[in-house]
Structure 1
């Protein structure tokens, strides 16, 4: 269209630029120009123009091997967005803490890792504590598995092959096929469990947040002596209810 707008009223060039960033993020943060053109379905000259504009703004950089990578300017945007998400999600996490007595977290998928974006700690003297901003592997954490539940098996295989699957305890999963089987069970029951896979003596229940703009999960974790398998009957329904509340918050914020 001559005015640069698409039929839905958006600006086509801006939408395409955001599409490029999304494709790069889904590809692990860097991608070759030919692959980018194939996935986007755009001619190479258009890709080059979009990349040049994004590079000028610091949102994309070109590596020595000529591949394009996400740029440092996105870090500041991501940090600001994370801070806002943490602010409006904390009251919902506090509801989980009141209902369970244990620490509640929210995490998002960033590249190949789970990143904690909000936490409300338990009031118990012995409690779980994770710094907001901490990055953890997805295969050995409750939030990580709840994030992977939202992806296809093929995507999970690709993700863990890039990230690796280090073992932290004797309970840690170390094989992609075993992880895929575990995720199938998680999807059937509707929640994920970390059975001391990152730290012995800790149990965590986690569920996905539906319809979030990026894979998102919330969790309740604590000492296994308090967070028993039987406590899932009480904790998981609360997690699912709060996840729905957070999904509504995402919808409201997207509409602003």
Structure 2
């Protein structure tokens, strides 16, 4: 952990510098001895985060960090495009609405708009949730190819969170087929008793699923009849966001 902190300290030196930095100065500014600084700098160079001009013996940031910026900007684009549509959905259904992305076999919420109801669901932006027991998560699973899905399952047991959590692989796969066909995933108190969720995928110009939106609320309000009423609304909103992302399909 300390080595990681030292590596980050070195990278952050370049945030306020437009010029290159020599090894002795790096060591001085970070409080490291020269040999430790050299070892960490060598690793950062090997991984492509720093460049060195041999004649000058000084270091500068590489363009690799732009890859992180590109990923972040794509996520921000989805959120910015989706927000006004999510806001409209929130007003239509009077329930909390969310948008999530897939990250390392988990769904991560990147936007949340609360319901105006006294009893409402609150989702913290940045929260990570499992895929097999959530509406947004099952939407992501339903649109994985066979290899990706098998890699996710990989013989691992599916954790149970409530009595409704699907832990049988064959049963989960059957539900994923239905989700893929209908374009809607349901969390029927599978992550938390008393909470239901309806989710639908957002697709990019290539037809790939890049995010999912969801409506969540207490089971007492989200009856089966109400869920059926919300399904076409959330599908329509997801398609509208997908269109804004360049998707041309139906």
* Mapping for residues 80-229 of structure 1, pairs under 5 Å: 80-161=73-154, 165-211=158-204, 214-229=209-224
CA distance in 2, matches of 1:230, 1:163: 35
CA contact (8 A) 1:104 1:220 kept: yes
CA distance in 2, matches of 1:57, 1:176: 41
CA distance in 2, matches of 1:159, 1:72: 28
CA distance in 2, matches of 1:228, 1:99: 16
Classify 1:54/1:93 alpha carbon distance in 2 versus 1 (closer, same or farther; 3 Å): farther
* Mapping for residues 4-153 of structure 1, pairs under 5 Å: 55-57=47-49, 77-153=70-146
CA distance in 2, matches of 1:103, 1:203: 11
- The Cα RMSD (Å) is 2.7
Residue 83 of structure 1 and its aligned partner are, at CA, apart by 3.5
The match for 1:235 is 230
Classify 1:160/1:215 alpha carbon distance in 2 versus 1 (closer, same or farther; 3 Å): farther
CA contact (8 A) 1:140 1:194 kept: yes
CA contact (8 A) 2:95 2:116 kept: yes
CA contact (8 A) 1:113 1:135 kept: yes
CA contact (8 A) 1:203 1:228 kept: no
CA contact (8 A) 1:90 1:119 kept: no
**What per-residue deviation string (whole Å, max 9, x for no partner) do you get for residues 157-183 of structure 1?**
211338752111111111322211111
CA distance in 1, matches of 2:78, 2:182: 28
CA contact (8 A) 2:199 2:212 kept: yes
CA contact (8 A) 1:89 1:118 kept: no
Q: Which has the larger radius of gyration?
A: 2
Q: Which moved more, 1:181-190 or 1:77-86?
A: 77-86
Classify 1:162/1:144 alpha carbon distance in 2 versus 1 (closer, same or farther; 3 Å): farther
Structure 2: runs of 5+ lacking an equivalent:
1-43, 51-63
TM-score, L = length of structure 2: 0.67
CA distance in 2, matches of 1:235, 1:222: 12
TM-score, L = length of structure 1: 0.66
